[in-house]
Chains A and B, each alone.
Chain A
Amino acid sequence: MAPALQTIEETFHAALDCDPDQLNAFLDTRCGGDKALRTKVEALLASHRKAETSVEISISAVAANIIGNRQPDSLIGETIGHYRILKRIGAGGMGEVYLASDINAGRTAALKVLPAHLGSNMERLRRFEQEARAVAGLNHPNIMTIYEVGTDDSRRYIASELIEGETLHERLARGGVEIREAIEIAIQVASALAAAHSAGVVHRDIKPQNIMLRPDGYVKVLDFGIAKLAEREVLPSVPENEALKLVETNAGSILGTVSYMSLEQARGAHVDKRTDIWSLGVVLYEMITGRAPFPGDIPGEVMSSIVEKEPLPLGRYLERVPPELEQIVTKALQKNPQERFQSANELLAALKHLLHKLELAAELDQSSARDSSARWIQSPIAAGVAVLAIALAALFPFYWLRKPRTAAIPEKSVAVLPFENLSDDKTNSYFADGMQDEILSDLAKVGELKVVSRTSVMQYKSGAARNLREIAHQLGVAHVVEGSVERSGTHVHINAQLIDARSDHRVWGQTYDRELSDIFAIQSEIAKSIADQLQAKLSPDEKKAIERPPTSDVTAFDLYTRAKNIQLATTIRSTEKTDLLNVVDLLNQAVARDAAFFDAYCQLAYAHDILYFSGYDHTPARLALAEAAVHTAFRLRPEAGEAHLARARNLY
């Protein structure tokens, strides 16, 4: 027998109130053996979740339009200005968008034809043109380029570059984005906003429909300043509650959805650049949770939610939200503009900081606990990154978030401390660092070993009297490796020893007196001996990886080591552009000497990436350089983790 509507309804509401974790248990208890009831309620809950994410109710708009009985007229085939209209590619509150061919310039363009009423206010139009030019002048990679604003036969149009890809709105409709991708999109949008704001242009209508995602990873923000054309003047004498009503009933300013309106927009009050910060906050919230921070079924409800309610924390929707992300969203969505980020640059800096932190945390997770999988990333690419970061942890061992070490110290754990430089020429110190780095990297390739990353051992500089027991305790390892390097001419003298820090007992030690060209063989020998002493079994692949020399050219290795040292000497956050350019220069020299220097290409890709994503050089040219380095690395070792990682990084 079918369950009664009332029973279904009561169960449905109780389930809505129920903690998501407890839902299954709740339904088990509540429905008992009543399969029909459970199926029905679960279907309703699924529908509820689906319904919740859609704010717009298109049907009522359809109704209004039907009784408006409009003539659908099409411009296809017509020529407007020097543009021939080829195809309709979209429509929004701000008018129709067509694919057009520019007869003069012989290129294709996107042509937006403004609705009659938007083109009628000459003063506003003039201001809009001014702003459009100001924004176009910025030539910012994240801002859609406007070719011209023109008039033809009283029709106003805006010609702009044609952007391939999909809108963020379409992307979100296909499914959620990962936290990291969301942050990267937000970074690019914030970067566009920062540039536009500096030119005195406020967007006023930041929403997923105005954010284009190109297949190459570029994000483009559309329609700067157009929203202003459609805005109604709000008289200062109108009291606030009236103003709210005014906006609510003003079909023109409620273009499409109201969900992204800032509080001051919802109130019809004066807006400045901080309105864009709010709207980007809403977009970020939606990207992460798949939901609107200020929900409502109709515009009026959304607006009262914007005015009155605080959004639920991100943590309510998904697990393990980085606290800093929560803080960023909260700060962007402060009702008082004074309490928000005061500039897009400020928001941009916070987002970048967070992104770097997450990257580092992911790498760290791998270097300090290689058996655990990545926690906050779940996309296939990110998962690939996580797995492949194992080898990379030794290459780029930035260390940021140290987790408290409470667990027992594993026996097969080791920290390779900086090697002492005993050369007469003290400028050779990087050579000692390179030695340490390679041994550490080799050991990190051994699955059974826990190896502390290089950044975290950096602080224990050689030379000073080191308390090994104390150091090992701090790093959470049982063993440490110490050593010294003396380089004179074409000879090297290398000493290395493995010490059980718990007892200060020297487990193993060896001195090598060899030709400089032998150093890579020596590094491998040391690594293998240590692994052997710690009874870590090497798989054939691991053995092969350790024995493979990083390069055949000692000078190239010098250059590479110096580049790495520069990058390592500072945290990413404080890396200066000149430092990064220096790094790039050294690595270019290295790969010029040895075109098969895989690690150098990986490092090079990484340096280009940081230059690009940190905004130091956010240009297609920089991205292309990164891509080229990744490509070469990948070609050199298609199977290698580092190349995959660098590639994955680049694909973001």
Chain B
Amino acid sequence: MREEVYMAGMGGQGVLLAGQILTQAAMLAGLEVSWFPLYSPEVRGGRATCTVVAADEEVGSPAAGHPAAMILMDKIAVDNHLGRVKSGGLVVVNSSLAGEEFSRDDLRIVPIPANDIATELGGERAVNMVLLGGYVEVTELVTLEATEQALREVIPQRHHSFLPVNVAALQRGAQCATNQIS
């Protein structure tokens, strides 16, 4: 088993953190896992991407040319990366910023209005957790519970006041993805 998921968005959306939380969850599940970031130097507004590869044996390549799954957090991410997804692959898209029209019909695309959901929950910055919740729900890699546990472990103690809104965001994202599929 080898799962590759590529995440992309703009700096400040929490692309890298979403990847780290998934990585922690995979480690808790007893898997081998690697997280590999690529980002521009800007704190906000630049491009941020990371690749998470989890496997039940040695991870091997931490990078993938044609990943089987992507989480794309804005329109530019969709424009830049949708073409690279492996045919038949899964794409969780932030439809608040990227719309619902896509150039490929050979993929399993799950649009989630992550900005709208996050705003509704009163945590505009929880966009990444909404999308991560959606991804976790529609894949078998790790459970939502393990992801919530990973969130608690990765977020430093001093920021734990933000946990409830982020846990809610994970759950709403998961719920939204379930509704999409059924």
Partners in one complex: no
Task: Please give the residue numbers on chain B whose beta carbons come within 8 Å of chain A beta carbons, in ascending order.
Answer: none
